[in-house]
Amino acid sequence: MSAAVASAKGVVKRFEGVTALDGVAIDVAPGRITGLVGPDGAGKTTLIRILAGLMEADEGEIAVLGGPPGAALDDLGYMPQRFGLYEDLTVAENLTLYAELRGLPRDERQPVFERLLDFTDLKRFQARLAGKLSGGMKQKLGLACALVKTPKLLLLDEPGVGVDPISRHELWAMVGELTAEGIGVLWSTAYLDEAEKCDTVYLLSEGTLLFEGPPGDLTGPVADRVIRVTGFEARRRQFLTEALDREDVIDGTIQGRSVRLLIRDGRETPDAATLDAGPDTQVEPAGPRFEDGFIERLGGGPRGTSALAERYREIPPSDTPMIEANGLTRRFGDFTAARDMNFSIPRGQIFGLLGPNGAGKSTTFKMLCGLLTPSEGTGAVAGNDLRRAAADARASLGYMAQKFSLYGDLSVRQNLDFFAGAYDLGRSEAAQAIEAMTEIFDLGERMNVNAGTLPLGFKQRLALACAVMHEPPVLFLDEPTSGVDPVTRREFWTHINGLVEKGVTVLVTTHFMDEAEYCDEVTLIYRAEQIASGTPDALKARAAELSGAADPTMEDAFIALIEDSDRARELEAAA
Amino acid sequence: MRRLSAMIVKEMWALLRDPKSRIVLVVPPLLQLFIFSYATTLDVKNVDVAVLDRSGGVHAAEFMARVAGSPSFRDIRRLSSTDELEQAIDGQEVIAALVFDPDFDARVTRGEPATIGVVLDGRRSNAAQIVSGYLSAIAGGYGAELLPRRAAEAGTAGSVVTNWYNPSLDYIWFTLPSLVAIIVAVAGIAITSQSVARERELGTFDQLMVSPLRVHEILIGKMVPPFLVGMFNGSLYLVIAPLVFGVPFTGSYLLFFLALAVYLLALIGVGMLVSAASATQQQAFLGSFLATVPLILLSGYAAPIDNMPGWLQTVTYADPARYFLILVQGLFLKAMPAAQVFQQLWPLVVIACATLAASAWLFRARME
């Protein structure tokens, strides 16, 4: 292996008492993709900014392209997480601007632009404003702008954020081509499945390196400890809860009708008999994932029983659907953001809205929780019509948004107090609920801390606490776990699974295919329409038919179904 | 009730939790009060003048002694040539220069009309006019003393002026009550305009809108903190004006607080309208600036409304500060009776209702 294009040793960076990076070392090799992996707030962006020369480290030795950071800017390509593009300029103008900024000679521009536009497949959109591009196209254009002068080192800060699986695949393919030209790429990401595609991975968590090396080295040790269990008698959520409560299981997730378990190191892999889940139970080995290795490094996932669910009221059974959409349509001017959405979710189920960004899943979600008035159609939450009984509908739902949307400059306690009051809890009820939430989510020591300064995991707990304090029969979750570490995500789903067992109905939007697996039913929204609906297993089966793949993942299913819809559209257009 | 009180408590915490923002709420309005009171001097004090005395006689010297004795003038520079005079005015060393002709003393002694030349710096026209007025008054007084008989014969007895409500014509008696109106407006609109916009920008707005809180509960919750801050600052001024600046408060305290409360509601309506229209805090900040400047300029504080063109005078009827300025001056200086207070109060009530209703409507409309 030739010398690293960028290397750092013992990098320390502190921000006002918070240590963002604590003795991190990294080497970026030429011609390879080096992954910088970790949840939000792990220190990824800080490290990239230090390497790009935008920020100085407090301690540590750093060499970029043989000099100090910021010296060899001509050979450095950098794509920031946001703000990299000028949204009011067209695609071509953005490229020209970057060419000017990077000092690309005028006569070389045309061939370079040709090549980049071909490469990114943006040729058709040259005259479109960058702000009007989809998330995936924006990232491709950002990449093209970073490449106007072929760099030796390319720093990519979370290029996969806000990008649907299809565009993500294309981005990976593009970056793969670049490494073939000998460019050293540093790709940062919070998606653990992306880590598996890197040549070398640096796993960051709260400013320290948990792991470095090829991804296989992390998954290797857990390889024969991952099993898939099918055919159990109990409901899948119940089975998962019981399995997670076992001593020999350290992690588990739902995958359609099956459950995937990670066994504790040194314990014997349980067979069907030990699991005692009915005569048809089958246990088979499953492929290890990067996430399994990460979870093990973090000391395993949470237990299966949710304290939150234990004290939650039992939602009374009912025959009427808890969430209903009948022909919901929303137009903005002559643009239709969501067309004719139809579904009905019975009590005690998780329903997922899946789809690329901008496809209409947020619009549908917002209509159902009362943030948008539908142009046509009706909807109901817990039997309350959205138009006629909006306030009652709102009182019967709990809402948790993707972004931390509590009051960051109020303390934890003040946030809890406010939401208890906003949801009409009486004085003693509120006191009880707050006490319970404090205990369940371990907030006791942080009651007087500003919510905005909490670590990400605690913010997430607090957001869930505020959403469920009034024990609503329906929960609305908008990308609830994006960017959090896998243990926090497991904990979150443990609670949600527990609540669903108590009869709570959940509507979730997500582009995390893992999360889709937890759903009882999903609907895939693409170009403002529902293109496929059914159980996750049914969608995977359909995808298998379409693509011929043997055991497609949810992500494969997503891609296959969208490609199929595109083909159908093209056929229709041609006819 | 439980929801509304939770909303109010939350809004109060949002405003008061940070010690820095607590200071920002009270200290700048006080600083503004002090700076504005001392900086917007409407009379001319401590001016420097020059004199080119070509007569060298007693009368010229006596006249200059009177100028020197007046509290309005500070330094008197003696000049020896017209070149020096030019320099002194040109370099803004003095605002006015007096010129005594060589025959000045002789003419005065003979009882003939004598003139004093006054060169004024027209670049500072307002102050120059006032200085010219002061000098004419001194000249008139001196002339009358020299020729009391003639003056009496001519029947120019002069007028006896009494300034009602502000006997010593102290400018601060006018500016300080007006400043209460201005500073309360600046702070009130600024605080209110941030409230909704901040939640939009931080993403907490959706969370608020999916809760069972009704629109009126959210709006009332957001109105309470700026209202209380405004009442607090208003009361503070009420104490400081007599104690520190010696401006008497002659009216009814009850009427003052009633007027202040209605005025604040009108201001909060304006601020809320800005806030409901803004998507970001920056927009809200610019919007509040956009609202505050005309509010002050059209209030009659900076320039009398009567001097404005007719159409602009009509516009001033929509300016809440216009009414409160009259109210606060009246209540401070002339014990404005209740009937007159209500005459100014009802338009304020109309403005408050209109702006608050409009902001509630805009708040709903902008949800989508």
Confidence of residue B148 (pLDDT cuts 50, 70, 90): low
Q: Is there a contact between A321 and A381 (Cβ–Cβ < 8 Å)? A: no
Residue in B13, B209, B210 nearest the CB of A410: B13
Q: Is there a contact between A20 and A46 (Cβ–Cβ < 8 Å)? A: yes
pLDDT in tens, B55-79: 888 888 888 888 888 877 888 888 8
Q: What is the pLDDT of residue A35?
A: 92
Out of A36-50, A298-312, B148-162, B167-181, which region has the weakest mean confidence (pLDDT)? B148-162
* Interface-testing mutation among B210, B217, B367, with chain A (most A C-beta atoms within 10 A): B210
> What is residue A464's three-state secondary structure?
helix
**Residues on chain A touching B17 (C-beta within 8 angstroms):** 409-411, 414
**Residues on chain B touching A401 (C-beta within 8 angstroms):** 203, 206-207
Tell me how crowded residue B117 is: count the other CB atoms within 10 A of its CB: 13
Q: Do B210 and A397 touch (CB under 8 A)?
A: yes
* CA distance linking residue A158 with residue A81, whole number of Å: 6
Indicate whether this complex's ipTM tops 0.90.
no
Tokens at A153, concatenated: 């080192």
**Residues on chain B touching A373 (C-beta within 8 angstroms):** 368
A273 to chain B, any CB pair closer than 8 A? The answer is no
The whole-angstrom distance between B213's CA and the closest CA on chain A is 6
A341 to chain B, any CB pair closer than 8 A? The answer is no
* CA distance linking residue A137 with residue B123, whole number of Å: 61
The whole-angstrom distance between A404's CA and the closest CA on chain B is 8
Q: Do A421 and B9 touch (CB under 8 A)?
A: yes
Burial class (CB in 10 A: 0-12, 13-18, 19+), A67: exposed
Q: Are strands A282-285 and A226-230 parallel, antiparallel or unpaired?
A: antiparallel
CA closest to B13 among chain A residues: A410
Backbone angles phi, psi at A473, to 5 degrees: -75, -15
A214 to chain B, any CB pair closer than 8 A? The answer is no
A335 to chain B, any CB pair closer than 8 A? The answer is no
Q: Number of H helices and number of E strands within chain A?
A: 20, 23
> A370 Cβ partners below 8 Å, 6+ apart?
A386, A390, A393, A394, B209, B210
**Residues on chain B touching A395 (C-beta within 8 angstroms):** 212
Q: What is the pLDDT of residue A575?
A: 75
Q: Do A409 and B18 touch (CB under 8 A)?
A: yes
Interface of A with B in 458-487 (CB under 8 A): 476
Backbone angles phi, psi at A460, to 5 degrees: -65, -40
Q: Is there a contact between A474 and A502 (Cβ–Cβ < 8 Å)? A: no
Q: Is there a contact between A366 and A372 (Cβ–Cβ < 8 Å)? A: yes
Q: What is the pLDDT of residue A506?
A: 95
Out of A23-32, B33-42, B307-316, which region has the weakest mean confidence (pLDDT)? B33-42
The whole-angstrom distance between A481's CA and the closest CA on chain B is 17
The whole-angstrom distance between B218's CA and the closest CA on chain A is 10
The whole-angstrom distance between A87's CA and the closest CA on chain B is 18
Q: What is the pLDDT of residue A1?
A: 45
Q: What is the mean pLDDT of residues A284-298?
A: 88
Q: Is there a contact between B104 and B59 (Cβ–Cβ < 8 Å)? A: yes
Nearest CA to B324 among B157, B182, B113?
B182
Burial class (CB in 10 A: 0-12, 13-18, 19+), A429: middle
**Residues on chain A touching B209 (C-beta within 8 angstroms):** 370-371
> A320 Cβ partners below 8 Å, 6+ apart?
A383
Tokens at A413, concatenated: 């306690």
Q: Is there a contact between A292 and A266 (Cβ–Cβ < 8 Å)? A: no
Q: Is there a contact between B66 and B138 (Cβ–Cβ < 8 Å)? A: yes
CA closest to A476 among chain B residues: B210
Confidence of residue A150 (pLDDT cuts 50, 70, 90): confident
pLDDT in tens, B212-258: 888 899 999 999 999 999 999 999 989 988 888 888 888 899 999 99
Tokens at A289, concatenated: 């994932």
Residue A120 clears pLDDT 90, i.e. is over it: no
Nearest CA to A356 among A81, A124, A194, A558?
A558
* CA distance linking residue A261 with residue A228, whole number of Å: 6
A418 to chain B, any CB pair closer than 8 A? The answer is yes
Nearest CA to B7 among B183, B204, B156?
B204
> Chain B residues contacting A, CB < 8 Å?
2-3, 5-7, 9-10, 13-14, 17-18, 202-204, 206-214, 367-368
Nearest CA to A463 among A449, A481, A487, A448?
A481
* CA distance linking residue B342 with residue B327, whole number of Å: 9
Q: What is the mean pLDDT of residues A245-256?
A: 88
Q: What is the pLDDT of residue A498?
A: 93
> What is residue A418's three-state secondary structure?
helix
B49 sits in which H/E element: strand B47-53
**Residues on chain B touching A407 (C-beta within 8 angstroms):** 10, 14, 204
Q: Do B212 and A423 touch (CB under 8 A)?
A: yes
A371 to chain B, any CB pair closer than 8 A? The answer is yes
Q: What is the mean pLDDT of residues A86-109?
A: 88
Residue A513 clears pLDDT 80, i.e. is over it: no
> What is residue A508's three-state secondary structure?
strand
Q: Do B2 and A425 touch (CB under 8 A)?
A: yes
Q: Do B2 and A426 touch (CB under 8 A)?
A: yes
Q: What is the mean pLDDT of residues A93-100?
A: 90
Q: What is the pLDDT of residue B159?
A: 53
pLDDT in tens, A304-336: 888 899 889 999 998 889 999 999 999 988 888
* CA distance linking residue B232 with residue B238, whole number of Å: 10
Task: Give percent of chain A with pLDDT exceeding 70.
Answer: 99
Task: Give percent of chain B with pLDDT exceeding 70.
Answer: 91
Burial class (CB in 10 A: 0-12, 13-18, 19+), B368: exposed
Q: What is the pLDDT of residue B157?
A: 43
Q: Is there a contact between A132 and A124 (Cβ–Cβ < 8 Å)? A: no
pLDDT in tens, A446-504: 899 888 888 888 888 999 999 999 999 999 998 887 777 888 888 999 999 999 999 99
* Interface-testing mutation among B10, B194, B198, B208, with chain A (most A C-beta atoms within 10 A): B10
**Residues on chain B touching A379 (C-beta within 8 angstroms):** none
Confidence of residue B160 (pLDDT cuts 50, 70, 90): low
Nearest CA to B178 among B190, B166, B193, B167?
B166
Task: Give the dihedral sign, CA A532/A536/A541/A543.
Answer: positive
Burial A224-234 (b: 16+ CB within 10 A, else e): ebbbebbebee
Write down the mean pLDDT value for chain A: 87
Residue B156 clears pLDDT 80, i.e. is over it: no
Out of B151-155, B170-174, B213-217, which region has the weakest mean confidence (pLDDT)? B151-155
Domains of chain B with bracketed CATH: 27-40+169-365 (no CATH), 47-154 (3.40.1710.10)
Burial B136-147 (b: 16+ CB within 10 A, else e): eebbeebbeebe
Residue A353 clears pLDDT 90, i.e. is over it: yes
Task: Give percent of chain A with pLDDT exceeding 90.
Answer: 30
Confidence of residue A206 (pLDDT cuts 50, 70, 90): confident
* Interface-testing mutation among B11, B211, B220, B364, with chain A (most A C-beta atoms within 10 A): B211
* CA distance linking residue A10 with residue B97, whole number of Å: 75
Out of A215-219, A267-271, A440-444, A518-522, which region has the weakest mean confidence (pLDDT)? A267-271
Tokens at A198, concatenated: 């890197």
